Structure 1
Amino acid sequence: MADGALGILAGGGSLPRRIAERAVAEGRRVFVIAFEEQTDPATVDGLDHAWMKLGATSNTLKRLHDVGCTEIVMAGPMRRPSLSSLGLDRRSAIALARAGTRVFGDDGLLSVIVREMEKDGFRVIGVEDILGGYLVPAGLIAGEAVDAAADADIARGIAVLRAMGAEDVGQAVAVQEGLVLAVEAVEGTDAMIERAGALRRDGPGPILVKGTKPGQEARADRPTVGPDTIRAAIAAGFRGMALEAEATLIVDRAEAEAAARDAGMFIVARSFGPQA
């Protein structure tokens, strides 16, 4: 265990809370930075924390130093506001100006944040360093064996995911019988699933393919699914889900698997092959 407290930069969802609970159970002190209009207030209930604006880099890093944090983990999805509404402090503005057009991609902006934290002497770790068991191994996770038609849709989805990921856009795509129904953009995976469901054709349902982008800064935005994602896919008529093995996290895995099995939906984890 590292010396010093663990700082958690908390986005949405339950993942930041899971990390805090695991760290505390292992005897580690934690401090949570919660972001206005991003973090669920329940995430910080009973935990040492501070609320910050997303663009307040200097104040955020100073607070983490002041409370003795030496390691930082970023967890939970962040809704991407416009740059004009971020409320950037001077340090944030300078860092983004140096990064140039890279900040317009999700990973580009998060990579800038990671570099700023490392410049300040923090060690930035990944979610899997705390919750290693959440990474999905290769294999069938729920449902029946994948048929040839599903295999073809998964291969198509991986190819599309790699192509758009090279431009730092999204981590998920919905494919039905070779037709790309939707790709993930700023709306996030669950909203993309709902959009794809409205475009679903007759016949075998769509398949969600979710994984990392080429060259992605995995410490900042590890692909994640959970029961809510599974339920959204079921409601939208999806027949299955293919996740990148050893790269994607499943939160509340037992609940997610049970929901998929009960609905007859498969979940499979596979290697997506070398990244370009």
Structure 2
Amino acid sequence: MTGRLAILAGGGALPAALAVAAPDALCISFAGVPHQLCNVTHEHHFEKLGELFSDLKSEGVSDVVFAGSMSRPPLDPAAFDPVMMALAPRLLSAMQGGDDALLRLVIQIFEEQGFTVRGAHEIAPQLTVAEGVFAGPAPSEAALTDADRGADILNALAPVDVGQGCVVAGGLCLGIETIQGTDALLRFVADTPKPLRRNAKGVFVKAPKRGQDLRVDMPAIGPETVRNAAAAGLEGIVLQAGGVLILDRQNTIEAAENAGVFIMGRVL
């Protein structure tokens, strides 16, 4: 980095983890977006991106990192500042498509303003999962076979920009992560009758979409993911090594050990 880092925060534990890793960073929140940061420096509105860009530049920011979950915000055109007015046609068009298209445009807009967009894994590489068993018991051969099947499914879905996770048991796909997110997927799987699962426990597989820009929307799990996977009767969780963040690591490890669920990093 040549200047200061700004953390543009959404919900979840990731922004706070990055703030610990980069204590000198400028922390930015957005009106109407819940966050867990305790040291927010500035709050901004999506309708006034010009003010955001000016604020970042005045604070000497050269690099930005997008962190945390954020749903597509409702926008009030009457509140747009001149910069947002100019950007609105591009943004509104991208919002009609998948998340990848919108996020690529957001990166492009910030780069056009002279900022370097960095990934959370660049700021805190220790948050990513390495290859091998991270927590819990060793996976069975059946689980590894299901993981391979899950990877094939996610790779096949990547071009249509659907999701970053799926559940496979006994070679059967029990569910795919969609806009509702991981927790909704695992609740759905928990309600699947056992006969449909071929008496196999199955695994949750999570990975970035093929070709995804890891600077934004990098997949992540935490202790709640583990608890939901256990409630769904799964044997374990398989993550793309180096491509998925593990948040609240100690509690995530403890949740896996207590539930007897493995967490594994693997090249998918």
TM-score in same-fold range (> 0.5): yes
Q: 1:154 aligns with which of 144, 147, 157?
A: 147
* CA separation of 1:56 and 1:197: change in aligned 2, threshold 3 A: farther
Q: Quick one: distance in 2 between partners of 1:4 and 1:117?
A: 15
1:185-224 alpha-carbon deviations (Å, 9 max, x no partner):
1111122211221225253323110001111011011111
Please say if 1:125 is aligned against 2:118. yes
Matched positions, count: 259
Give SS of 1:166's match. Answer: helix
**Deviation >4 Å, runs of 4+:** 100-103
Check whether the contact 2:155–2:209 (CA below 8 A) recurs between aligned residues. Answer: yes
Check whether the contact 1:58–1:91 (CA below 8 A) recurs between aligned residues. Answer: no
Q: Quick one: distance in 2 between partners of 1:60 and 1:91?
A: 15
Q: 2:75 aligns with which of 72, 77, 86?
A: 86
Q: Quick one: distance in 2 between partners of 1:256 and 1:166?
A: 31
1:141-166 alpha-carbon deviations (Å, 9 max, x no partner):
12222222212211111111111122
* CA separation of 1:160 and 1:200: change in aligned 2, threshold 3 A: farther
Corresponding residue for 1:20? 19
Please say if 1:140 is aligned against 2:133. yes
* CA separation of 1:46 and 1:56: change in aligned 2, threshold 3 A: same
In structure 2, give the amino acid aligned to 1:241.
I
Corresponding residue for 1:71? 63
1:70-110 alpha-carbon deviations (Å, 9 max, x no partner):
110011122245xxx3346323323236xx56851111111
Give SS of 2:250's match. Answer: helix
Give SS of 1:174's match. Answer: strand
* TM-score, with length taken from structure 1: 0.86
Q: 1:231 aligns with which of 227, 230, 233?
A: 227
Corresponding residue for 2:180? 187
The within-5 A match list for 1:45-124 is 45-53=38-46, 56-81=48-73, 85-87=74-76, 89-96=84-91, 104-124=97-117
Identity of aligned residues (%): 36
1:59 is displaced (CA, Å) by: 3.0
Corresponding residue for 1:197? 190
Q: Quick one: distance in 2 between partners of 1:86 and 1:201?
A: 44
Q: Quick one: distance in 2 between partners of 1:73 and 1:160?
A: 29
The runs of 5 or more residues in structure 1 that have no matched partner are none
* TM-score, with length taken from structure 2: 0.89
Corresponding residue for 2:169? 176
Q: Quick one: distance in 2 between partners of 1:243 and 1:153?
A: 13
1:31 is displaced (CA, Å) by: 2.0
Q: Quick one: distance in 2 between partners of 1:240 and 1:52?
A: 40
* CA separation of 1:79 and 1:68: change in aligned 2, threshold 3 A: same
In structure 2, give the amino acid aligned to 1:263.
A
* CA separation of 1:216 and 1:239: change in aligned 2, threshold 3 A: same
Check whether the contact 1:181–1:196 (CA below 8 A) recurs between aligned residues. Answer: yes
Q: 2:28 aligns with which of 29, 33, 39?
A: 33
Check whether the contact 1:118–1:124 (CA below 8 A) recurs between aligned residues. Answer: yes
Check whether the contact 1:171–1:210 (CA below 8 A) recurs between aligned residues. Answer: yes
Q: Quick one: distance in 2 between partners of 1:229 and 1:36?
A: 27
In structure 1, give the amino acid aligned to 2:28.
I
Q: Quick one: distance in 2 between partners of 1:135 and 1:172?
A: 16
